[in-house]
Chain A
Amino acid sequence: MQTNTTDVDLIRRFQQGDQAAFESLVRRYQRQVANIIFLTLGTRDGLEDLAQEVFIRVHRSLGRFKSESTFFSWLYRITVNICIDEARKRKLRRALSLEFLAESNSLMMRDFHTDRGTDDHVLREERRHLVLRALQRLPAIQREAIILREYEELSYEEIAETLGITVQAVKSRLFRARTELERLLKPYMGTES
């Protein structure tokens, strides 16, 4: 119904008092926001609350939003900041020990070799967990960049705008993130093809 309406149109309507325009923006971006949170934190715990926090902050500030940056880069910036705060609170990095990851890896590989095709759903879930855990092992600045690139498929320019860094820094973070993810997921990546 409103698929052809641009973000700018919706923002303008909201600024003129149309609450339905805000809800259209929420519907348009709620999945992306949910997955940025999910991939960043690696868990569904508190997902809805955090997504609500994102959109409440958007609602508070949207009246003053000026189209100097794109809406989604502004929205993703808010999302990433909330994720960083939340990750600090949860102290995720401390909880995710090397041993735990190694254990997941070996479990994963065993399943991959012995049970291939017998329980695709379980296997796929296991793989997702492995990828999520590998993402958690990255430094936050690399994780943000790789999620915005690989999941959101943003360009370097858009990632730079969202994260407030240079394009060169985006390239560097992406390269390091990829190198580290390849290292962490090597056993799985090797058997995927």
Chain B
Amino acid sequence: MNHEEATRLLQEYHDHELDEATARAVELHCRACVPCSRVLESWKRLQVVIQDAAVADLGPAFVDELRESVLTDRDSSGVWLTVEPLARRTVVALAIVVTLLTSMFWSSGDERTVSGPHAVVIVPTDSAANMDLLQTNELTKADVLFAMLGE
């Protein structure tokens, strides 16, 4: 294994993430390579000092105190936690019903009127329907002939 390859794999070697054969090849390279062995040594020391700095622990009373906190938390949020799934489903169901009712209301009837002195008749415009109307109103030669005979 050349130096470039070893450098690329050095971190994975240090973290024991390589398969046995590749790890062995990196190891052999590092035995003969001062820069690589220095990097490895530095990373090892880094791990030691980080682990050495991790001196925190929670006191023996932690679990007892936590038990109290959990009980308090459950009392304060217990009802909501129980209701939450049901409430969520109810809100979704209501939203669906309202949407359906609204769409049914707006689509029902061709005309809607507003009573009062300024009553307005709203006639929905529909381009396809208007095209049909135009086509049916178009006079044919027969229509003209019958009109002339009639006169």
Chain A interface (Cβ < 8 Å from any Cβ of B) = 19, 22-23, 26-27, 30-31, 34-35, 37-39, 44, 47-48, 51-52, 55-56, 59-60, 124, 127-128, 131-132, 135, 146-147, 149-151, 155-156, 171, 174-175, 178, 181-182, 185, 188-189, 192-193
Contact = CB atoms under 8 A, between A and B. Distances in A.
Given A22-B70, A47-B58, A188-B49, 17 more contacts: A26-B63, A31-B56, A39-B50, A56-B73, A59-B73, A59-B74, A127-B52, A128-B55, A147-B50, A151-B51, A171-B11, A171-B12, A175-B11, A178-B11, A185-B49, A189-B45, A189-B49
B62 interface: yes
B43 A178 contact: yes
Interface residues of B, number: 32
Contacts of A174: 11, 15
B142 interface: no
A38 B54 contact: yes
B57 A192 contact: no
B17 A34 contact: no
B111 interface: no
Contacts, number: 106
Interface of B: 11-12, 15, 17, 41-43, 45-47, 49-59, 62-63, 65-67, 69-70, 73-74, 77, 81
Contact of B69 (A56, A128, A151, A171): A56
B11 A35 contact: no
